[in-house]
Amino acid sequence: MDEGESLSEAFWGVARRLRHLNRQTMAPWDVTPAQWRAINVLVDHGPLRLGDLADKLHIAPRSTTEVVDDLERRGLVERHPDPADRRATLVALTGDGEAAATAIRTARIAESERFFGSLSPDDRDHLSRILHNLARE
């Protein structure tokens, strides 16, 4: 680390590189990071009401509606009536959405392996432990 560079600056430099690589990795599917987060939540949790999806994404319901509208136009998600409450709507991945999620996850894992590949296994373990500890605070 340069003498004038703080730990925080180094961290944000790595975060910027990762964000740029993630955008490049997702470009073939024309999926934004916000859309990817929504897809990923639906993969992990299955069909959700818009409000529940907004809660899991930690964004405003209006923003969630915009993300879902974009994904729906592209055929990656669809809305269904909630069988437990006919006034509510569930958002679910379509077959194309599930295929895109699998392909994007595979591409992101490969990119992550390339990015962190220069680190030794010990350094990767230490970095993982440190980042998980910081994420809990």
28-52 average pLDDT score: 95
Percent share of the chain, pLDDT over 90: 85
pTM of the entire structure? 0.82
Left, alpha or beta for 33 (phi > 0: left; psi -120 to 50: alpha)? alpha
> Quick one: average pLDDT of 109-137?
93
What are 62-98's pLDDT values in tens digits? 999 999 999 999 999 999 999 988 888 999 999 999 9
- Name the CATH code of domain 10-34+44-136 (choices 3.20.20.70, 1.10.10.10, 1.10.1740.10, 3.40.720.10): 1.10.10.10
Enumerate the β-bridge partners of residue 92.
Answer: 78
Q: How far apart are CA 116 and CA 98, in angstroms?
A: 27
DSSP secondary structure of 45-110: H-SEEHHHHHHHHTS-HHHHHHHHHHHHHTTSEEEEEETTEEEEEEEEE-HHHHHHHHHHHHHHHH
- Residue 2 pLDDT class (50, 70, 90 cuts): low
* Contacts with 128 (C-beta within 8 Å, 6 or more apart), sequence order: none
Of 33, 60, 38, 65, which Cα lies nearest the Cα of 50? 65
Distance CA 132, CA 137 (A): 9
Q: What is the pLDDT of residue 136?
A: 87
